[in-house]
Amino acid sequence: MMKKIFKVGMLVGALLPCWGAGEVQALPAPGVTGGMPLMEAIVKRQSARDFDAGRAIDDQTLSEILWVAWGINARGKRTIPTSRGLQNMQLFVLTPDGTWEYDGPGHKLVKVNDKNLIPLCEKQDFVKTAPLHLVYACKDDRGGECHVGSAYQNVYLYCASRGLSAVVRAMIDKDALNREISLPENHSVIVHQCIGWPVK
């Protein structure tokens, strides 16, 4: 079902919010075994800006990217450490047809709005070729930005293991994103991360 979302290198359809009702899209269970050895993934981790605009991100890969960033592991804990157990981070997927929030405990996506907010992240041309756009936000209190850093680093390591290109960026219109996503008071967008298969 989710494969209908990713066409010609961009998200185009239905992909979860922490506030307000929204369309819900379940995700396949993440694969939690195998992959590249950790030390090798650390060696290979890099910021890469080459994306194959014609190759989509499949459902399983999307599921695993979101899970490593902000999912729940077999012990019932987040896949990243959180200061004092605070759950003060949000992870959004931007698509041309709307904004979706990842619900880690439910491992699903909930639609926040029907707006295409990707242009608010396109201050550099290479961003336009990326098929997957993640936006990390957090509450302006202790640990929030640290949690964001842990989350996008997990995504970087996953991408290194899978041979995906990924880059974290701050060249985005944060004020507009805060407004259009309708973040709660004292929450704000921190960074954008774009992901895709490299050009061969």
**pTM to 2 decimals?**
0.88
126/147 Cα distance (integer angstroms) = 26
For the segment(s) 2-196, the CATH number from 3.90.1150.10, 3.20.20.20, 3.40.109.10, 3.40.50.300 is 3.40.109.10
Instruction: Check residues 22 and 195 and name the one with the higher pLDDT.
Output: 195
3-state SS class at 75: coil
Using one digit for the tens of pLDDT, what is the confidence trace for 162-180? 999 999 999 999 999 999 9
65/118 Cα distance (integer angstroms) = 19
27 in Cβ contact with 109 (< 8 Å): yes
How far CA 118 is from CA of 72, 97, 113, 128, 151, in Å, comes to 27, 10, 13, 8, 20
3-state SS class at 118: helix
pLDDT for the residue 101: 97
* pLDDT (average), residues 44-52: 96
Using one digit for the tens of pLDDT, what is the confidence trace for 50-61? 999 999 999 999
